[in-house]
Amino acid sequence: MTPKRKERDSLGVREIPKQVYWGIQTLRALENFPVSGQRADPVFVSAYVSVKKACAMANRAAGALPAVKARAIVRACDEVLAGKFAGEFVVDVYQACAGTSFNMNVNEVLANRALQILGRDKGRYDVISPNDHVNCGQSTNDTFPTASHIAIMSAAGALDRSLVELAAAFKRKSKELSGVVKSARTHLQDAVPITLGQEFAAYAVALDSARRALGDSVLGLRHVALGGSAVGTGLNTPAGFKKRAVAILGRLTGLPLAAAKDGRYALQSHLPLTGCSAALRNLALELIRISGDLRLLASGPLTGFAEIVMPAVQPGSSMMPGKVNPSLAEALSQISFDVVAADATVALAAQAGQLDLNVMTPVSVYRILHSIRILDNFLPIFTRRCVAGLRADARRCRGYFDNNPSLATVLAPKIGYLKAAELFKESLAARVSVPRLAVRKGILTERQSKTLFGAGKLTGGR
């Protein structure tokens, strides 16, 4: 038989496995919400424990928490932040009560470890209580949003670096492919000339723009709800607690945190979260578009565009020998689809807030952190194993350029739109290039044709 200990909460007495650090309220959460098997992201656990450490230090300074208890709680926090007790944070990401289950999971783990530090048994909540001491001056309603903001800000830093590297890879590739002239395509139809380098440079600009927008949205998370307690009024917090706790938390996390200008707003509104989620969605939409373009450009090898060749990273078919697929680009699209779907969840959660509290924060932070995590996990792989190694089929690209009937556009200022359109049709029907046809018809001399249809001139020379 597993040794047990008894704990009491406002609903009664339950037996808890003696070896665990979580307690009775966590047990009830495990029974009530066995939903996904997904637990809080480690960055969120660290953010929440940092909040608890800051509060313990602020409460000690205010005289609201005895020094010996505060020191024990702070030491317990430090141990968790050092990587210990990771398996004790067991509440499912889908839970009720605005995150009360997870807040109490954290409170109980810290309380029981602090009790051990003081030489007491787990469950001796008359000595150190999850509610009265670890949660002193706090509510789930202000700590959970605060930890959410900190976790997202912390996780976003790594993603930002991954995006910088991806954009840089496209910039390098744009220089490498700057001399590869080809036919542009609009509406998936042949259009005027462009270079592969110009297309790749545009991808880099798009990623840089999406990255900056994401960074701006993350900065909007710097105002935190801590100190607002249950409804943003600061009830049951010591004098000066909000200012002191937020300042300490900023030092602990290294983030530019500030107390929310209005505590009520910070509990009611998800605007900072939806702003961040929307920026992630917009980034994902750009990644879907770019990965789709790469798949088209690599389509073939004989019956598609075949303008670029992606690195072969694995066999493409269990049936067709030798087939190679754009696997990494396809994976990036699927990952990005998930990010777009996550944003829909965050949007629904934001509008579901009622009156003085939005209780849907747990699902919002879970989906945002999930989006950041899967993008940050995969983008370095995509950068290194796909973008960095792809190459152009310059002959194929040049062939499209030379035979593109849309080159008739260049003659429109000289012969007019309608005559240029006729030349387009004749070129297409006869399978004769526009430059050659223009010379044959006496519209241009051979020398004029070479000058007018020079690749550098047609693509802006850059």
- Active-site positions? 317
Nearest to 399, CA basis, from 340, 323, 455: 455
- Tell me the two tokens of residue 207: 């990623």
The 10 Å CB-count burial string (b at 16+, else e) for 225-264 is bbbbbbbbebeebbeebbebbbebbbebbebebebbeebe
Whole-angstrom Cα distance, residue 94 to residue 34? 9
Tally the C-alpha atoms within 13 A of residue 337's C-alpha that lie toward its C-beta: 8
CB 402 within 8 A of CB 458: no
Question: 116 in helix, strand or coil?
Answer: helix
Question: 39 in helix, strand or coil?
Answer: strand
DSSP conformation letters of 274-341: HHHHHHHHHHHHHHHHHHHHHHHHT--SSSS---EE----S-S-SSSTT----HHHHHHHHHHHHHHH
- Tell me the two tokens of residue 278: 């929307």
- From the number of C-beta atoms within 10 Å of its C-beta (0-12, 13-18, 19+), residue 340 rates as middle
Whole-angstrom Cα distance, residue 53 to residue 226? 13
Residue 168, H or E segment: helix 140-176
